[in-house]
A = this chain, B = another copy of it.
Amino acid sequence: MGRWQPDSRGRLQEAALALYSERGFDQTTASQIAERAGLTERTFFRHFVDKREVLFGGSTVLQDHVVAAVAGADATDGPMQAVGRGLAAAADMLGAGRKDLIRQRHGVISANPELRERELVKLSDCGAAVAAALIKRGVRDLLAHLAADAAMTVLRSGIERWAYGDDDRSLAMVMDELLADMKALLLSASAIPVLASQSTDIEPESQHV
């Protein structure tokens, strides 16, 4: 056996989720997490850059999975098809995890503004990585970012609806429906998405500030 208990990183993650759940994020000190994991505060900060990051250890793995799927899409796939592959990969990975743990983590995160903040960054980073993968496939910069953003919208709200939904639909099915809804929504606006006309025609001079 080693000099120390194995998997200190994992123990810290487990301790943190437990404590954040029990007493809340800002009622928990880094020192307490470390103590529960049988380590010191200094070691906590050697494993995680800050107190929030301990909840987002898996995000890199998920992101890499999604990006790999996008990059590996058929050469004939357009940007939205490629992005669909990425979402399918995410659904595979998350669908394999335990829904109750996902809900627990989601509960902790949405209960605290600082944690929500961090989650938004992770989603944004994932979107940027997906966009980069699309660009590498030859997609124009602008379209790549729009497609990646749409994918992140579907991913985020898909996970939420799936985790808390009544029915037992798979995450992939939920996301599929979201994509369809999004398409219908944009289509329905074929009439007047024109901006310039709205702002200048209707209130010609009434802008203050």
> Which A residues contact B (CB, under 8 angstroms)?
61, 77-81, 84-85, 87-89, 91-93, 96, 113, 116-118, 120-121, 124, 142-143, 145-147, 149-150, 153, 157, 161, 170, 172-173, 175-176, 178-183, 185-196, 198-200, 203, 207, 209
Contacts and interface: CB of A to CB of B under 8 A. Distances in A.
A191 B93 contact: no
A108 B9 CA distance: 34
A120 to B, nearest CB: 4
A89 B195 CA distance: 9
A100 B84 CA distance: 39
Given A78-B189, A91-B195, A179-B189, 19 more contacts: A79-B189, A81-B193, A85-B198, A88-B196, A91-B199, A92-B203, A93-B209, A96-B207, A116-B124, A117-B118, A120-B124, A142-B178, A146-B157, A150-B182, A172-B200, A176-B194, A180-B193, A183-B193, A186-B187
A145 B182 CA distance: 10
